[in-house]
Structure formats: structure tokens, C-alpha cells
Structure 1
Amino acid sequence: MKELPSKYYLTHFHEFLGFITGPCAHLLSTEDSAFIDKFHTLCEDAQCLYVRGLNRKSPIIKRTSLFYEEINHHQLHLDTLIAEGFYTQVNQCHLAELTNNLTKPELAQVLRNADISFKTSQSKADYLQLVHEYCQFEDFSPLLEHSTVLHRGKDQHIHYFLFLFFGDLNSNLSKFSMRDLGIMPTQRGVSTDNARFDFIDEAKSAFFYAHQRRQVSTLTASQQVSLAQQFTSFPVPQGTLANEYCDRFLLKLGKAILPYDVPLGINLLAASAEPLAQEKVIREKYKLGETDWVKNRLQEIIEEPESEALLTFAEDFLARKFQQKRTSSLTDMLREQSTKVLIDEMYMDSVEQGVKLYYQKQKKQAFRTENRLWRALFGLVFWHELFEMDSNALVTEFDYKPQAISQNNFYNLYEQDIETRLYRMTSAQLTFKQLSKVMLEKYGRPNGIFRWHKSLLEVLAVFFDHVDIEGFKDHLRMMAKDFKNYADGYPDIMVVDDNGLRFEEIKAPGDQLRKNQLLTIKQLRKSGFKVAVTQVEWFLDPQQPYAVVDIETTGGRANQHRITEIGIAKVINGKVIDSWQTLVNPQRHIPQKITQLTGIDDEMVSDAPLFVEIAESLRSYLSDCVFVAHNVNFDYGFIRAEFERLEQNFRMPKLCTVREMRKAVPGLPSYSLANLTRHFGIDMSRHHRALSDAQAAAELLFIINEVRHQKASDSQSRG
């Protein structure tokens, strides 16, 4: 890993302030500018000491922790920072922050100071609740003697500046370090001559409501009620982003208030334009018996829908509550156009993968798509409009998502360009060629719309071989108009067979169809796409192939050590039908203790293939199998790490013979491979050699599956 200069953080802070005082200068108040001017009057070491403190999560900082080797005369500079207000003494106003920063023993001391009884067995959360409810500032005084704890001052300016720079409240200056260390890719070359806001009122308003929303979850119930009562005195939100943050704030606070004050909670929700808030108002009013109001409101929404999401809810609620319809739209969708498939229960943790393989065994084309296909289609089609047409699209190199997407006004801003691009998409194959060209030019560029993956081009080729171009364009237009609501909820897989292309949403037993999935599936169907809901039923498939794997390694950590041998026993229907074995050159020395354990030394692997040379044959051999091993995460983790070194993904359904033996044969004194083989009389020719151990684990798998089949049979008999 790269090493950064000793005062790298100060360099980053000056880079950060350069943007704030440059493109964002018009967004600064007199107080903001005065803070920056005062910071610039500090000497370098004092600046370093302040910026060091900014990188702390908590504003409560112990004096003794502010000592760094690269900073001289700490106490002198700390006194200067205190005198200038960059740090302050902890006082009554900082009580909540101080409390949240204390350890459990320190909280216990505060409770004892206040003469509050408590039990040592209580959790830290219980301690915090007691302190918040019963303790006064003077109860903390022993912890604050000699000014051992300071409060970081000026945070209101820094938080606002971070909001202007990153566009959210969650980012911090550590992103600069991650960029320079090569950990975080950024949009190099992005112009930083633009600000996120045109006017200071918009910026301050957006920051205010973003901050209000964030703090809701940190408040006690009484504090939330108090905040709700203050809302009428809050400033009117200015600009698109501020209105959005205000609506989200009202939704969050209104839901939090409902258990304590229903009328107040409803009033807050009613003031929010968020569809979920409007839904909640209608549901609460219905509970209160205000059925006439509810019916009229539902009819208003249906006549003039504010959003597709709210329209879907209104139609469904009206039908169920006032027209005697007995099932919801979600239930109807599960029943209509729904198919059932039997999948081996080994795919319980990867049900979509199981269904995909089910279709592939039938010689149908099947791909995992979910959100990534449609997000990729949207990003590739509109790449120019999203990232290149407007210099304001990305404000800093840390931005991934264009502002028009964040503010959900992409179509409004670029309607003519979007329609022109869609008009020129005259055929599916022409569109595929255009998108292939974009992929070739832009592959790997970080963006906030979709993730690149190597199989994307293959999926797109199949998609455009079968898609109706007009339906495709219709759905892209809907995404452009309302990306916020059509960015997710897409079906899990895409299937192509003799009947053409269709999407399938996969639901395992007990899974529910979510509202965003209902909304997206309805829209896909409106655009002419076939979409089915596939319900999975579990069974034990005797023809399910298992690859029972064992590996030998140079040590126990996958990220540090390497594989020296792989052995695989392939099992179908209770029999070992094939085996695969190879030594692997780990490209490093094998420790003596490993050689003593396995018998594998440096000379044995000197002419063995490298992992890269056997990777494809190994992947092919494991294809369509369940990955089985004794302590499966060890073997699976090493093989996955080897593929990751080749920048390849590795994912398979897994079965652990340790875990499953504990279920099948409980109560044994040990479940190690050696002890289990002795217990069941399983022959092991060479313990700690890969194929021998894999074959022994295969015998355990037979026992496990016999028990599973018996349990399944008993369950069917009872049914």
C-alpha cells in the first residue's frame, strides 16, 4: 500500500477549502467566511492539530489523544485553538454528545454520582437510557476534572462545507486519503468549477432539512415530539433538493411520532409529498374510522395521480376496503402468471442461482439480471446525457451519480436530447452496436448508475436478439422520467426459450413480493415485456451433482497463503462418479510444519501448474455442482481468493459436512474429519492429502443425504 506524507491530511484540507472558497464562495455566509479566514491565520502546526481533530468521529476529544509526532509544541497550539474557539471546554450544551462518547464503566460512574440504582448485568443501552433520563451535568464533573475532555468547535461550518463538497451528510475527509491510497476510485478529470447550488438560500435550506432528518433517529421520544412541535417555525424549504429533504424528514419524524401522538404524527405526514407519507396518512385515517375522507382522498389520487407508486396503492386500497376485493395486488400478482418449479434445497441460500441452473439444464438461456441489467441499459443508452453533456453533471471527482439523477429531474432537464436519442434507436441490433461501442470506450469508469461486469456484453447480446425495440424504448423513457422509482425492483432472472424472452421474479417459500417489485413489474408489462412470478418448492433432487472438495495450503489464511493441492470427488445419486486432483505451485515456500502435516514440500510442487493454469478447468469441473467440504468456508474461501487474484468472481452454493453432520447425527464428541471417519469406519488412505480427504468427506455426505431423505419422506407422510 502507498504511504502518504506526514501532513497529508492538511494538504487534503486545503484542497477541500479551495473548492469551498472557490466555486462555492457565493454559498458562504459571513460567519462561514470568517471561520475560514481565522483558520488561515493559524500557523501550520496549529492547523494540523485542528484538522487531526476533525478526523475523529466524535466531537468529544480527550486532550491526551491530541499528541502527534509530526506536530511540535502541542500544548501551545492547543491553547491557541481553545482561545480562538476551535476547541472549547465541555459544558451543559454538549451533554448528549458527551454521554454517547462514554464507556460503560464511565456511564456507571455517572449513575453512581447521581445516586441512581442499576444492575451491572444491564446493557450499555440501558445505562445510556438511565443517564439520559435521570442525570444532570454536575454528575459528570469527576470525568471533566482538569479539563481532560474538550469539545471540537466550529463543527457547524465544517458539516456545511462537507455537504457542499460531497452533496451528503455521510461523507468525510477520509475519502481524500482513500483516493490517494488507491482504495477509492474517483472520476479523475472532473471539472471542479461548479457548485451544487446556485443560491445560498437553496444550499442552507437543503443542509438544514438534511440535518433535521438525520437527527430524528438520535432523539428520545420526548425530544422527537418537541421537534415536531417546532416544525411550524422552521424555514420554508428553498429549491428541489431542500423540498425533497423536507418531505423525507416529515415522513421519518411523522412515523416516529405516531405511537405517542397520532394527530401530530398524521399532520406531519400529511405535510410531506412522499408517496409513503401519503399512504401512511390514509391508513391511519382509515384506522380512526374516517372512511368518507379516505374514500374521497383515494378517488382524488386516482383521478389526478401524483406518482405511479401512489396510484397503485390508491387503486388497491380502494378495491380492498370499499369494493369488497379480498386480496391485495401483491397477492394477485403472486397468483396470476405464476409458475412453480422444484429446486433442490441445497439452493436455499442462492435460490435465483438454483432456478437459473434449472432452466439451463433444460437447454434454455437463463441469466441473473435483477436491477443490474436495466440500470446498465439506462446508463449505457444515456451515458452522454448523464455524464458528458453538462459540465454540472458531476461536481467533484468523488461524485458518481449525476445531479439530475440525485434530484430525479433527468427527463425534465434533457427531454429533447433523450427523445432524439430514443428516436434514433430504430432497431434492436443497431442499438446493441451503439451500446457495445459505449462499453468499449467507457468500460470500468466508476458511475453511480450501474456496475460493470464481464458478462454484461453477453447478456446484452441475448437481450437485443429478442427484445421489441419499441417496448424497450418505452420503458427507458419511464426510467428517465422517474429514475427514483424505477431504479430497482426488477425481476431476478431473464429466460429465453422457444416462446421468446421473459423475466421472472423468483420467490422461495415464505418470500413476499415487495411494493417496489410490484410497481416495476407492472411497468415492464405495460411496456410489453413478459414477466412471470416463479414460486419455488424445495425437494431433494437425486440427480443434483455435488463436488466434494479438499485443499492443502501453505497456511491458514486465504488472503496471505496459497493452495498447494486440490482434490475433488464428484457425487451424483449417492455415488462417486468421478474425481479430479492436482498439485498446485503456490509460488512461495511451504513451511516445514505444513510439510510434516501433509507430506507436500517445495520440490513436489516445483513443476506443478500455477493456479492460473488450472483455473478454467477447475471452474468447468465444478460447474452446476454444490460445493461440499468439511469446514466448507475454509476450502471455498481459498479457492475464491485464488480466483479473485485473477480478477474473476467465484460463487457457488455450499454445503458444510461439519454443520450437516451435527444436524444428522447429533451428540458425537467430535466432528473433525479424522474422528468422524473413525466413528463410521470410513477408510482414509492418506489423511491431509486432498483427494483422500475429499473422498472421506463424500462418504459423510452419503450419510447426511440419507438422513435428509428420511426426514423429507417422514414429512411427506405426515402431510
Structure 2
Amino acid sequence: MTDTAVFPDLPPHYYLANFASIIDTVTLRYGDLLTQEEGDWITAFHDLPTNAQCLLVRFLSRKGHWFREDKLNYPEIDNLPHAISSLAEATFIDIERTPPFDVLCSLLTKPELLSHFDVLPLDKKSKKADLIEEIATHSPTAEPLTFSCLHVRLDVMPIFLLLYFGNARQDLSQFVLSDLGIQRFESVSLTAEVRLFTSRDQMKDWLDLSSLSEQYWQLSEKKDKHALLELSKALPFTTAWPPLERKRQRLINQLAREQERAGNIEEAMLLFSQSSLPPSRERQARIAMKQSDWSRACEWVNDMLASPFNEDEKDVAARIAKQLAKKTDFDCPVATEHLYEALHLSLPLDTRVEVASAAHFTEQGWTVWFSENLLLNALFGLTFWDIIYSPVSGAFLNPFQRSPRDMFSSEFYAARQSAIEERLHALAQQTQEESVKQRLATFEQKYGLANDWVVWGYIDKEQITAALLSLTPPQLVACFERILFDPKSNRAGHPDLFMVKGNTCQFIEVKGPGDKLQHHQVRWLNFLNSHHIISKVLYVEDANKSPCSNANS
């Protein structure tokens, strides 16, 4: 018998309370940036009766601006006709019986269209899209509908959601998770002093660029190559506001790749030259190599090797350097030796290879935990918890964030450098016992709060204690510095198993039949061993098929 989680019933008007949270937070943080129309909208909303407020929030939570009155089904809203008339009286909605033709066609089903335009000679076997085209050719004068259509006049959601969630596409489901107690979040500062947007122009530019990005993804899904190439012409100029500029450069890279794939090399290079984000330098180096412009290619690779943006760029620069060394006198960096030991083991694989391997080491006297992207990340999250959630401009937009907006970029360290370096220095000076005490205190105080670094269900105090008593503070500092260099990449690739026996600990990366080490896994194995943290790779064969020698454990 399995246990089933029981969640509390939501209050019938939970969504109204959630929406009130949005407009209250937006008013508090961005009241000075709202237009007169938006401010008046909020004031008028507060003056509505509760049933009208509920209905309007229901409308705003759905796609589109037009709704059929006869299809409304909200049993929790008292007296729907009164709610509708209240919204119309306060000019939040229009009530129409003869909506525009395109709206009418979107609201009616195919059978309803055939019935409504029964005077026209229509092919009943046509698909709805073809039927609409056929109706349009007759330029019909539509008769009033037998039901009312409700049109929401001012869609404030894009602005409100942008200011609250950081994008205009977010839905309100996150509120439901919080209301049900499925996720609990750390309390963060949401004052005007640390808001993301500081001007109306920033808001407009962000929405415009978001619209352009949305067009890119829609055209990509449709594989409309011509329109994708034309989209490059709509790119805005460079902006001095870093968050928007990073967003712009990400789109530039995507459009530049489209130009490159289309063979428009000059256009691609022009776009790539406007971006400092990966893979801009890599692509320019590869294009130069295809053109046999070895000198230029060497310049790009040297730039990447000298100041890599992240782990992936550092890795790809080293691989391109090897290619250049074969064609030129490029001084290729010496390849890093594999600092890790490779073990080989034969086990009957009646379960996951990691589980079978853990059982083997347990039999050898080790206490074993599954640690892949769990243990080191949890230690990082517990060590820097207060810094992660400290008030930094633009970091937190709403109470439902597992981490700050810049958590997985180089900006995270740059914006908190002083506090981070102070914490690392203090950690390096601590005894292992002091480190255990502080980390466990945070563990107990913050247990269950959503955090991108700590996966509570897979981490316990015993594992944390064992790790902190077997890894020295300087070793932890080294691991944390590596994560901080590239949080997005270096939060992954950690070995599968962590184990202790007496005063000895080790990490084991497990590879089953046919499985190979990935680049980020090799980097972590080499790094850990370079800091005298024993880390090995274990290749496991299925004993039922091809037995091999046992591992030295």
C-alpha cells in the first residue's frame, strides 16, 4: 500500500487573493512607473463587488480577450449576471452580440458556423479553417448571436506579470503550489529599492524584446527559414542596461546561427560581433577556420583560453586549439592528464547500476550515499543561503523564487563578491566541527524551503555531517569557488556516489555497460583529485553477460 499525499482544499476564491497579491506588490514596488490608465484600473478593480472581481480575474487568467457568456461555468461565483453587468458598468468589459468576424469565427464551433451562416452555400465537409475562408469570400453580414460575447477592454496582465514574474507569459499556477503547501519559499525583500525596472522605457523595451523572442520561437517551430532571417532586421540597438542587453545578446546568438546555417556568413559574423555571450566567439572561430583564416581563428581561441566565459567555452576552446595546432604553429595548451583512477567491476545488474554499485561498496565496509548533483550542491546552498537570498537589485521579483534571477550567471558572484569572499575566508579558517555546526543549524532552520541547490528529500544531516568531517574547509572552499565560476554548468557532473570508511572518503562516478564519461564529469573528477579528494570512475559490466575482474575498493 502506497501513501498518498493529502493536500488541503483551496478556498473557493483563492485566485482572487493571489491576484490581489500581484497588484499590491506591483503597486508597492512600481506605482511610480504605472500609467494613469493602469493606476485607474487598479483603483476601479478594488471598487468592484467581489463576484465581479472574481470573474474578471478568471478572464485575465485565460487566453484571449473574448469570451462567450453561455460557456461561463464558475460555480464559486455568485450571481454571474450581476458580475457581468458590474464589469460592463465599470467599463472593464464590453458586451457584444455582433463581434468582429474573426472573433465570431474563433468563438463558434464548426456546426455553429454552418448554422449561423445557413443562408450561404457552404460545403459541410470542409474543415473549419477552410469553412471560414469560404464564408469570408461571401463578405457576409452576420446576424446577431443568440448569446452575448464579453470583451475585456484593457489587458493589464502583460505589464503586471512582467513586473511580478519578470515575463509576460507566466501563469498563476505557482500560487496554487504555494497555497497547497507543495512548495514553501524563503522570505525575500520586495521593496522598491531593489526592484528590477527603474523606468517605463525599460519595461517597454523588455516587452518589445520578449515579443521578438516569442516570434523567433514560433517561427522556429514552423521552420519558416525566410521569416527567421528577416527577423534579424528587427533587432534593437545596443542598450546600456545589462539585464536587457544580455537578453538581446541571447537572441542575437540564435538569429546569427540561423544566418550561419543559411550560408549567410557575412550577416552571421555581423550579428555574432554584437554579442559577448557564448557561443559567439566559438562560432566566429569556427567560421574563420572554414574560411582558412587561421590568424583570425587563433585570435578568437586565444581570447577564449585567456578569459573563458564559462566551463563549456573553456572546454570548447581547448578542443578547437587542438585542431588549430594541426594546421598552424598555434601553441596548444598541454592536455590535462586524467588524474582519476579507473576501476572495473562485474555485478549482476538486476537493478540500476548505481544501486548495485552502492550495495557492493556497502559490503566492503563503506557507508554510501547517492550524491550525483546533490551533496556538493547542498553544501553550497547551506553555506551561502543568506547571501543567495540577500537583497540585490533585480534579484527577486516575487515571493515564489527558488533562487535569484542571476543565480546561474556570472553576475551572481559579481553582485555579491564582497560577501562571498568574506564567507569563503571564514570557512577556510573554520574547524570541521565548526563547519558542521553552522551547516546543520542552517539545515534545521531552513528545512523544506524551496532552493535550487538543496533537494531536501535526498539530503540528510548524517550525510552532511560525514562530508564536512571528511572534507577539509580548504577543499570545500575550492569546490565552492569552482561552482561560483560557472554555477549553471558546475552544478552538474558530480560523481554518483559519496562514501566514507573511518577517516577516508571518496567519490565514485558509476558507468554501466556502454556508458562513457561526459566532459563535465571528467572535469569534476580531475578537479576533485587535484585537491586530494579521492574520486574514481567505476566501469560496471553485467556479470550475467560478461564477467570481469573485481574492483579494488
Shorter chain as normaliser: what TM range? 0.7 to 0.9
Contact 1:356 1:493 (8 Å CA) reproduced: yes
Post-superposition CA distance 1:519-542 (Å, at most 9, x none): 5455445544343333332331xx
Among candidates 8, 13, 18, match of residue 19 of structure 2:
13
Q: Is the 8 A contact 1:49 1:77 kept in 2?
A: no
How far apart, CA to CA, are the structure 1 residues paired with 2:310 and 2:153?
Answer: 44
Q: CA deviation at 1:17?
A: 0.8
* Alignment partners' CA distance in 2, 1:140 and 1:496: 80
SS at match of 1:9: helix
In 1, Cα distance between equivalents of 2:51 and 2:138: 32
TM-score with structure 2 length normalisation? 0.76
Structure 2 matches for 1:147-296, cutoff 5 A? 154-155=154-155, 157-169=156-168, 171-187=170-186, 190-194=188-192, 196-200=195-199, 201-219=201-219, 220=222, 221=224, 222-231=226-235, 234=236, 236-256=238-258, 258-260=260-262, 262-263=264-265, 264-287=267-290, 289-296=292-299
What is the deviation of 1:493? 1.8
Structure 1 vs Structure 2 CA RMSD: 4.6
User: In the TM superposition, what is the alpha-carbon distance from 1:52 to its structure 2 partner?
Assistant: 1.0
Q: Would the alpha carbon gap of residues 336 and 473 (structure 1) be closer, same or farther in structure 2, given more than 3 Å must change?
A: closer
The answer to whether the 8 Å contact 1:60/1:151 transfers is: yes
Q: Structure 1 residues 50, 420: closer, same or farther in 2, change over 3 A?
A: same
1:161 is displaced (CA, Å) by 1.3
Check 1:235–1:297 CA distance in 2 against 1; reply closer, same or farther (3 A cut): closer
* Structure 1: stretches of 5+ with no match in the other structure: 121-126, 541-708, 714-719
Matched, 1:72 2:80: yes
- CA-to-aligned-CA distance 1:292-315 (integer Å, 9 cap, x gap): 432321123223434443222112
Q: Residues 206 and 243 of structure 1 are in contact (CA less than 8 Å); yes or no, is this contact kept in structure 2?
A: no
CA gap 1:351/1:419 in 2 versus in 1, 3 angstroms: same
**In the superposition, relative to structure 1, how do residues 381 and 145 fare at CA in structure 2: closer, same or farther (>3 Å)?**
farther
Question: Where does 1:603-682 land on structure 2 (aligned, <5 Å)?
Answer: none
Contact 1:49 1:66 in 2 (8 A): no
Give 2:345's aligned residue: 341
Higher relative contact order by CA 8 Å / sep ≥ 6: 1 or 2?
A: 2
Q: For the Cα contact (< 8 Å) 1:251–1:269, is it kept in 2? A: yes
Question: 2:456 maps to which residue?
Answer: 452
Change (3 A) 1:108 1:333: farther
Work out the CA distance in 2 between the residues paired with 1:361 and 1:7. Answer: 56
Which residue is equivalent to 2:421? 419
Shift of 1:53: 1.3
Confirm or deny: 8 A CA contact 1:375 1:449 kept in the other structure.
yes
Unaligned stretches of 5+ residues in structure 2: 1-6, 548-553
Once residues 92 and 445 of structure 1 are traced to their aligned partners in structure 2, the CA distance between those partners, rounded to angstroms, is 50
Structure 1 CA distance for aligned equivalents of residues 114 and 237 of structure 2: 41
SS of the residue aligned with 1:24? helix
1:261 Cα shift?
A: 5.4
Cα-to-partner distance string for 1:251-284 (whole Å, 9 max, x where unaligned): 3344455444543455444433332343344334
Partner of 1:367: 369
Change (3 A) 1:516 1:32: farther
Q: Report the Cα distance in structure 2 between the residues aligned to 1:225 and 1:236, rounded to whole angstroms.
A: 19
Calculate percent identity across the aligned residue pairs: 23
Aligned with 2:57 (options 47, 51, 60)? 51
Match of 2:550 in 1: none
Q: Look up the match of 2:383.
A: 381
Residue deviations 1:612-657, cap 9 Å, x none?
xxxxxxxxxxxxxxxxxxxxxxxxxxxxxxxxxxxxxxxxxxxxxx
Separation (CA, whole Å) in 1 of partners of 2:367 and 2:361: 7
The separation in 2 between residues aligned to 1:256 and 1:62, in whole angstroms, is: 41
Distance 2:483 2:171 in 1: 31
Q: Do the aligned partners of residues 424 and 179 (structure 1) sit closer, same or farther apart at CA in structure 2, a change above 3 Å counting?
A: closer
How far apart, in 2, do the equivalents of 1:141 and 1:361 lie? 81
Question: Is 1:477 aligned to 2:476, yes or no?
Answer: no
**Would the alpha carbon gap of residues 445 and 218 (structure 1) be closer, same or farther in structure 2, given more than 3 Å must change?**
same
Is the 1:369–1:492 Cα contact (8 Å) retained in structure 2?
Answer: yes
Asked if the contact 2:343–2:539 (Cα under 8 Å) also holds between the matched residues in 1, the reply is yes
Q: Distance in 2 between matches of 1:6 and 1:181?
A: 13
State the distance in 2 between where 1:152 and 1:352 align: 55
Cα distance 1:384–1:138, how it changes in 2: closer, same or farther (>3 A)?
same
Between the aligned partners of 2:215 and 2:451, the Cα distance in structure 1 is 29
Aligned to 1:566: none
Partner residue, 1:672: none
Are the aligned partners of 2:51 and 2:79 in contact in 1 as well (CA < 8 Å)? yes
> Residues of 2 paired with 1:240 and 1:49: CA distance?
39
Q: Which amino acid aligns with 1:165?
A: Y
TM-score (norm 1): 0.60
1:311 match: 314
Q: Please tell me whether residue 429 in structure 1 is matched to residue 428 in structure 2.
A: no
Matched, 1:507 2:515: no
One-letter amino acid of the counterpart of residue 376, structure 2: W
* Aligned with residue 25 of structure 1, among 6, 31, 38: 31
Evaluate the alpha carbon distance shift between residue 21 and residue 346 of structure 1 in structure 2; reply closer, same or farther with a 3 A threshold. same
The DSSP-based 3-state class of the residue aligned with 2:541 is strand
Distance (Å, rounded) in 2 between the aligned partners of 1:140 and 1:373? 68
What code does the residue aligned with 1:175 have? Q
Mean CA deviation greater in 502-511 or 512-521? 512-521
Query: Is 2:476 aligned against 1:490?
Result: no
State the 1:343 CA deviation: 3.4
Contact in 1 for aligned 2:281/2:300 (Cα 8 Å):
no
Q: 1:241 to 1:85 in 2, by over 3 A?
A: farther
Paired AA for residue 72 in structure 1:
L
